[in-house]
Structure 1
Amino acid sequence: MKKCLWLFLAILSLLPCPGCEKKSVPKQPVKIGIDIWAGYAYAFIAREKGFFTKNGVNVELVLRDTTLETRKAYINHEIDGIFGLFSDMLMQNSEGTPARLVLVIDRSVKGDMLVGRPQFQTLRDLQGKTVGIEGINTFSHIFVLKLLENAGLQESEVKFKNINGRDVLTALEEGQIDAGHTWDPVKTAALNKGYRMLAHSGDLPGILIDGLFFRPEVIKGRPDDIRLIIKSLLEARAYAHANWDEAIALMAKAEGMPYEAMQNGVLGVKHLDLKDNVEVFRKSEDMGSLYWSFKTIVDFFITRGQMTMAPKFAEFIEPQFVMRLWQEEAQK
């Protein structure tokens, strides 16, 4: 009798219990900081057109007005990843807030400009003048200093004023500066008002690069999500280029930017696809390569005393996800 009871209980324990099924706990969203910049605005295409959802990854895009605000959120651990500038994240990495580049989003070709008063003809006309830059020892500072250096002007020959890129037109109108580094929507508005383009990012290939960065612990803990995020973004990029008018309108609305400014901003960058990323992650000494950009930017920071030693290139990039997606494409 006891043996039968034991057998009955053993069988019963194997049967499913109504209401006792183990429920899967939904993952917390991967929070990615993004600011007002046309170059990586197609992340909003990935959200609005359902590419993140289609690929089964929960993503929250956290929008801020400026790169400084987004970086602050990253430093304060309010977000898991960030769309950011290669140079800024490299500097931030050296200051103790680690980040790894997983995808190169764009290179600024004409997206960034140094705009000045109508009477200026060349960069040489800025000698003794006041130039607006967004922060000291930032991507903006590097960009302007390199432009001036190529024009034969030394840093001491120009006065600098810390002006947010979105405030450059206002600062020009108020007489605070004579020229300033900016991008859309301010770039288009300044040109429409008669201010002159003195230089653009195409004059300095490889200096202004945007990418997607994540914390090392996020990469280690959620590698599948990172891969699916990258896949979704690349699909959104392709969709945006195939459905131009719809995409520009959607991105402009998401970033609170006029259609013309968004379109000019997107036309001012080169969006890298999967093949481009595979090539750019390869170590190369060629001008404009990611490694060349890394060395150029590190040399700048070391010369100015902002870095005491050069970081290792291999410890700043994380190409595994791009390479795996490339292999998956090759097997199709």
Structure 2
Amino acid sequence: MGKKLKLFAILLLTMALVLGGCSSNKSQGSSGSSASKKIVLGFNPWPGYFPWYIAQEKGFFKKYGLDVQLKQFSALSGMLNALSSGQLDAAGVTINDMIVPLSKGVDLKAVGVYDISNGGDAFVVNKNIKSFNDLKGKRVATELGTVDHLLMLEGMKKAGLKESDVQFSNMDISDAGNALISGKLDGASLYEPFISKATSSGKAKVLFSSADMPGLITDVIAVKGSLAKSDPKDVENLLRAWYDALDYWHKHPDESMKIMAKAANTPVNEYKDVYKTIKIYNLDESINAFKKANDYSSLYYTGQETAKFLKGQQMITGNPDLNKALDVQFLKKLQAGK
């Protein structure tokens, strides 16, 4: 009889611990999120994505009950392949970069906006080049089919040139920057911090940049469609962690810059200058970008124009369903305070 009572007591204690653990998990995060599976969040070295390191360092993921692994890729192509194959749950990409996987049936959702490039992407040339016309027959490079490729072609088009007027090579951005500095290229379409590294060498200068075409390059928070459908609270909390990181950056600029510069393996004073060419969007600005308009302020318009460009490059055949891919509901819940 005594053994049965002891066994019963042990069972009661075990149940209490299990129930207590469940209750503890459900209380994680101010939004009431339960403990979640790991979210792998990938991005390339674009500085607009680096506030995620503030979120990681200051515990904002844990605050909302999230287990997030940040994964940085040296090349955009590698990151896009990982996103398209399902190895990533979320990513930092431009709306332009989403078009190819969307056209192939990959289920992705753009759920927020990081920033727009306001000079953070540029066509950089040998310091002796004075205009696009000087590039006829010269060697230029960037990553094929990317937004920096599009930016280069837009600059050439304004000058009355076609891609066939130059010797184009498909090259990773970091490699293209190094090749430009070493004199192996005459021009390269780059993004920060590779622009600054090239121009600070004294051997190169900016000829044309995203500041000449505002809104052309807009970076978005992309997630797998399955994550948005099965774990919508995780998506909301991921956005909450992002805006907490931006708020912390605003209140503690020096500490935040040190965190991001360390992650970028770049001196703080150099990295600080990079953000002069990037406009980080707040919540309201991000929501406004999801509205339909006939200019690059709209994600719909930018996506449509990018699809035209990629068709011209024979990289896609059909039009992606932007109405399905652009999902503003999560931002609106944050705005409503839900």
TM-score normalised according to structure 2 size: 0.87
Q: Which has the larger radius of gyration?
A: 1
Which of 20, 36, 40 is the aligned partner of 2:45? 36
SS at match of 2:208: strand
Instruction: Tell me how far apart the structure 1 counterparts of residues 269 and 125 of structure 2 sit (CA, whole Å).
Output: 21
Contact 2:139 2:187 (8 Å CA) reproduced: yes
Which residue is equivalent to 1:3? none
Pick one of 59, 62, 68 that aligns with 2:68: 59
Q: Any conservation in 2 of the 1:183–1:265 contact (CA below 8 Å)?
A: no
Q: What per-residue deviation string (whole Å, max 9, x for no partner) do you get for residues 216-262 of structure 1?
A: 11111110011011011012112213322221111010122232342
Alignment of 1:27-106 (within 5 A): 27-106=36-115
Hey, what's the Cα distance between the residues in 1 that align with 2:296 and 2:174? 30
Map 1:236-255 → 2, pairs under 5 A = 236-255=245-264
More off after superposition, 100-109 vs 171-180: 171-180
Q: In structure 1, what is the equivalent of residue 12 of structure 2?
A: 17
RMSD across aligned positions (CA): 2.3
How many equivalent residue pairs? Answer: 318
2-structure distance, mates of 1:269, 1:185: 11
- Residue identity opposite 2:118 in structure 1: V
- What is the 5 A alignment of 1:171-190? 171-190=179-198
> Partner residue of 1:5?
none
Question: 8 Å contact 1:109–1:205 — kept in the other structure?
Answer: yes
Counterpart mapping for 1:1-332 below 5 A: 17-21=12-16, 22=18, 23-24=21-22, 26-134=35-143, 136-194=144-202, 195-328=204-337
The residue type paired with residue 14 of structure 2 is: G
* Counterpart code for 1:19: T
Identical residues among aligned pairs (%): 27
Check conservation: 1:133, 1:161, Cα contact below 8 A: yes
Q: Which amino acid aligns with 1:144?
A: M
Question: SS in structure 1 opposite 2:42?
Answer: strand
**Aligned-pair CA distance for 1:307:** 2.6
Letter in 2 for 1:34: F
Give the direction of change, closer, same or farther, for the CA distance of 1:93–1:56 in structure 2 (3 Å limit): same
For structure 2, which runs of at least 5 residues remain unmatched after alignment?
Answer: 1-7, 26-34
TM-score (structure 1 length as normaliser): 0.89
| Equivalent-residue separation in structure 2 for 1:66 and 1:265 (angstroms) | 19
Structure 1: unaligned runs, 5 residues or longer? 1-12
In 2, distance between residues paired with 1:257 and 1:35? 15
Cα distance per residue 1:47-69 (max 9 Å; x no partner): 11122222222212112222222
1:101 deviates by: 0.2
Given that 1:281 and 1:290 are in contact with CA atoms closer than 8 Å, whether structure 2 keeps it comes out as yes
SS in 1 for 2:183: coil
SS of 2:129's equivalent in the other structure is: coil
CA distance in 2 between counterparts of 1:176 and 1:268 reads 27
Counterpart code for 2:328: P
Q: Post-superposition shift, 1:280?
A: 0.9
Q: What are the Cα deviations for residues 111-168 of structure 1, in whole angstroms up to 9, with x where unaligned?
A: 112111111112222121111111x222222111111111211121111112221123
Partner of 1:283, secondary structure, is coil
Contact 1:36 1:64 in 2 (8 A): yes
Cα deviation for residue 326 of structure 1 reads: 1.0
Task: State how far apart, in whole Å, the 1-side matches of 2:97 and 2:296 are.
Answer: 20
Residue 16 of structure 1 deviates from its aligned partner by: 7.3
Contact 1:184 1:264 in 2 (8 A): no
Query: Which range moved further: 277-286 or 144-153?
Result: 277-286
SS at 1:305 equivalent: coil
